[in-house]
Structure formats: structure tokens, C-alpha cells
Amino acid sequence: MKIVFLSVLLCFLFTCKAQNACNKAPFTLSNHLRNPSLEQVLSTCETVIANDSLIPPLSAFIPYWQFPIKIYGAFPYFAQCNQFYYPRDPADEIRNPNSRINRYPLVPQPIPDGRGVTGMMCFRSRIGTPRADTFALKDYISNNLFRVLKKDSLYRISFYLGFGIKDTIGTGFYISGSPMKISIFGLADSSKIPFTSPFARTKHIGCLTQQFKDLVCLGTRTLQGTAEWIKDSITFIAPMDIQSIAIGPACDLSDVPYTERFDSWNAPPGDFYFLDHLQFYQSSVPGIVIEKTAGSLCDGPNASVTLHLKSEGYYSGSKLQWYKNNTAIPETRASLLVTKTQYGEGWYQCGVQNDSICMRSDSFLVRWDPLPSSIIGKNEDTTACNGDTVILKVNGGAFASYVWSDGYTFDVSKQVTQTGIYSVTISNSCTTLTAKKIVNFKECPPALYVPSAFTPNHDQLNDVFRAHFTGKIKAFKMSVYNRAGQRIFYSEDILKGWDGTVKHLPENTGVFVWVVEYTDGFDKKITEKGTVTLIR
């Protein structure tokens, strides 16, 4: 079940990355969404602002909408009664006329509908900077729907996204970066909202699909604007019966340009947007859905799979067109046979077109999952030397899960340093099996390594000439001789080396002879000789 879910989730995430231009179908306004303009029921402005100490929560004043349980900061709501400023304290404005707006950009005017709008925060930092791992925050608002979105039905949700600019007064501010990617998510179980806003100061992933594994991304749009409201919509096919939806920043913002900026609060770069007037529309035609009707996605010499247009009967007489990786292929029937030699691995879609409809299905990933190997590594058993590290590695395919005998999970490989019998249970969409390996560690003869040159110039790089060993030794002596046969260095400490001086004076550049005598772990006495070049 876990493997199947990961495959389905990846398909949905792919759908969220782009919507094709073929997007025409009859839609009518539906009443799935209650309070589409997020109107508040407050008579005063003092409680319009939501923060950690607000009781009751903001959702008590904005009917039917659930706002995140904030771990940090506040979730603002902007209304006519406070002139769309946050926060607004008239007495404080008189005392401090330059502090009326606090971090949040101006709400574009006029607002699309009603008397108020909600805000939406998106912290993001440039990849590779310290803050990229320190801050991650994305705000999502959610709604328990009045009616369930039915599986395989076609829907469209429209919305207004507001792009604000900083006020001419105030010291700290966020802006509405452009462009912005916004996504809608679906959840089958309405009891799991409101969501906790994903925020932490230590490498926390700020995306709902990674915080709530049964949440699916339904669609994504990229919008651009400056000090204005932009109306857009997302069309999607419900992959399951959906009771609740959430809307907010897309999970993947890697293709959204990063804007370096600084404010006096020294806060991480904060993108802040406004949302208003969301509406659902339902289509009278079924969604274009691909199903697998035959074959298997398991690898093998005769691997094949048959993809089929689920709503074939309804679209009888329409023009059908199959696509691989968004490129048309010469297939126009309701079924498509994919093998290793015919079309091969890739993302597949089926498009339908007639006088009133032009749509494509969600993308279906065809990828042959290999059968897990019952052998860890190249050989059944392995012998290694004490002190070494052996890496045990298995292959179960991209979506395989691994459970090692000591409970270690989620990785294809494991490092071991002790003798034992190691096993791992490998599961993928094809099968589940257990692989075992015996690893024996033993005492091995030591191996000596002596460099051929060194540079004692005090740059902390190769300044000292010394011998290096792998394995165990019991006794050690090293001598260095000049061309005249005089011993100029001697040590019985393996950690001590020659620094290129003789009687505290730098020795000239040249070639010197070294002799190393040692006793190994088996009490065998060994002598080795060689030369080393001193370079200045």
C-alpha cells in the first residue's frame, strides 16, 4: 500500500507542476464552498487580528474557514474597519506616526469582493545560504466543503491573488514577490484540519504534502503581479472523494526567482500575499482519467502495460490523442499498449477534443520497477579486516522500501563494522523478499604507506614526513638517512614524524632514505625501505 501511494502521489505532484493549454469544458457554479469571500462576522476591529493568544480562534469569526494553528507569529485578516492595515492602534499612531504598518504590504484596492481579505505568508531563502536550512514557513487556509468533491469528477476553482507593495511608512516590511506559485490541495478526512503551520528553526519542510502524507496536490498555477489583484483558476480531476481543501504556496518553488532583500527587522525574506473570492465550478462532463487495464509495471523481458481511457463510452465519437512526455504519439484509440520497445518509460496522457471540449488526462507514469535482488552486494558472503567499514547495498527500485534486521529503514545501503548475519526486507510494487549476507571481520596483516615527498614550508599541508598504517602493529621504529649514510631522524612513535630539520636547522632539498621496522598483529617482524624527497 505504501508503494502504491507513493506512485499515485508522484503522479499528482507531476500534475501540479504544469497545466496544459488544452483546457475547455462546460462548467457551472457550484455550492461546494461556503463563505467563498472569507467574510468575517465581527462588529469591532480589535479582534480582527489573529495571533497566538486569540481566543476564540480566527476561524470563529471567519465562518467555515480554518486558519493554521501558528507555531510562531500571527495569521492576519484585513478588513475595511481597520482600513486594511495590520495592526492599527490610533493612539500609537499619534505617538509614533512612522510605525503604522508593521511588516505586511499594502492590500491592493479595490478588493475583489466583500469587506475583507486574508493574508498568506511564504518564507523562502536562497538555496545554499544558512537561512535556507534555518527557516521554512508556508501558510495555508482550509475549508470543510459543503458538498464532497466526487472522485473522477472535473472541477475548477477560481480565486483572486493579491500582490502588495510596502507602505511608504513603517520600518519593517514584507513584499509580494512576483511570480508566485499557488496550489490547491485535497483531503479525504476533514477531521485533520486545521493544519499546524509548518515552521521550525531547524530544517523543517514547509509543505503540507510532506507534513500530511494523505494530502494530495490537485493543481498549481504561477501568477505575476504588482500592487494588483490577479484572477486565475485551477482545473483538476478529483483523485478521490474530497471533504476538505487547502490553498497556499506550492510545494516546489525552485523555479520561482529568488529576490535578495533586507528589512530592519532582519527577518528572513518574507513573501506575503492576499486571497479573496474563491469559487468552485463543476463540469457536466466526466474527467479524462487513465486507468491501467492489463499488464504490470514490474520489470522483465516481456514487461508491458495497457492504458485505457476510463470514460471511453461518454467520449465516443470525439477525437482522441495520446501523448508521451507532453509530445503527441501516433495513437488515437481508447487503449494504448506500452512495452519496453514500443514507446517505453515516460509520462502518458490522453487528450479528448470535440466541438465543446478540449481536455487532457492527468499524467500516468510508466516505469518498470525491477524485481528486488535477494543478494546484498556482488557476493553472498564478505570478509573484511578489523577496523574497516563494509557497505551493504541492495536494489529494489525507485519506490522500494527497506527494513534492515536491526530496524534501520529508508535506505538502500547500510554500513557495518562488526561480524554478523545481516538481513533486509525489500518491498516494492512487484513483491517482497528478504536478502541476507554474512560479514566476517578478521585481523589482517597491516599495510604500510609512506609518502614519496613532503614540503616542510609551514603551510600545514604535508609539512611532516611520517609513516601510515592500516591494521594493527605492536612495535614501530623509523629512521631517516642522508646521502652520507648518517641517521638524521629516529622515532619509535608512529605519530611522530620528521619535520625536515637536523639539529633544529632546516635541511636542504634532496632525496633521503627511510627504514621502517615494525611487528604486526601476528608477531611477525617486518622491515621496509624507501626514499623520500624533501621539497622547499
Comparing 268-272, 380-384, 412-416, the range with the smallest average pLDDT is 268-272
CB distance 474 to 522 below 8 Å: no
CATH 3.40.50.300 for domain 27-285, yes or no, is: no
Per-residue pLDDT tens digits for 29-42: 998 988 898 887 76
d(CA 71, CA 65): 19
Q: What is the pLDDT of residue 275?
A: 93
Per-residue pLDDT tens digits for 327-339: 999 999 999 999 9
Are both 27-285 and 288-366 of the same fold?
A: no
CA-based nearest residue to 185, from 204, 210, 153: 210
Helix or strand (DSSP H, E) at 421: strand 420-427
CB distance 350 to 309 below 8 Å: yes
Per-residue pLDDT tens digits for 143-166: 889 999 998 888 999 999 999 887
Fold of 381-442: Immunoglobulin-like (2.60.40)
CB distance 361 to 290 below 8 Å: yes
Which DSSP letter does residue 375 get?
Answer: B
Per-residue pLDDT tens digits for 90-147: 565 566 655 544 567 888 999 999 888 888 877 665 444 434 433 456 778 888 899 9
Residue 79's pLDDT band (cuts 50, 70, 90): confident
- Which of the two residues, 48 and 524, has the higher pLDDT score? 524
Place of cell 527587522: 265
CB distance 329 to 257 below 8 Å: no
Q: What is the pLDDT of residue 427?
A: 83
The percentage of residues in the chain with a pLDDT greater than 90, rounded to a whole number, is: 31
Residue 497's pLDDT band (cuts 50, 70, 90): very high
Three-class SS of 315-367: CCCCEEEEEECCEECCCCCCEEEEECCCECCEEEEEEEECCCCEEECCCEEEC
CB distance 206 to 212 below 8 Å: no
Does the pLDDT value for residue 348 go beyond 70?
Answer: yes
Does the pLDDT value for residue 468 go beyond 80?
Answer: yes
Helix or strand (DSSP H, E) at 5: helix 2-17
The percentage of residues in the chain with a pLDDT greater than 70, rounded to a whole number, is: 74
Q: What is the pLDDT of residue 50?
A: 43
Q: Give the domain ranges of the chain.
A: 27-285, 288-366, 381-442, 447-534
- The CA dihedral of 212, 215, 218, 220, to the nearest 10 degrees, is 0
Whole-prediction pTM: 0.60
Pick from 139-143, 357-361, 402-406, 524-528 the range whose average pLDDT is largest: 524-528
Q: Which CATH architecture has domain 447-534?
A: Sandwich (2.60)
Q: C-alpha grid cell for residue 485? A: 649514510
CB distance 532 to 452 below 8 Å: yes
Q: Which CATH architecture has domain 288-366?
A: Sandwich (2.60)
CB distance 439 to 461 below 8 Å: no
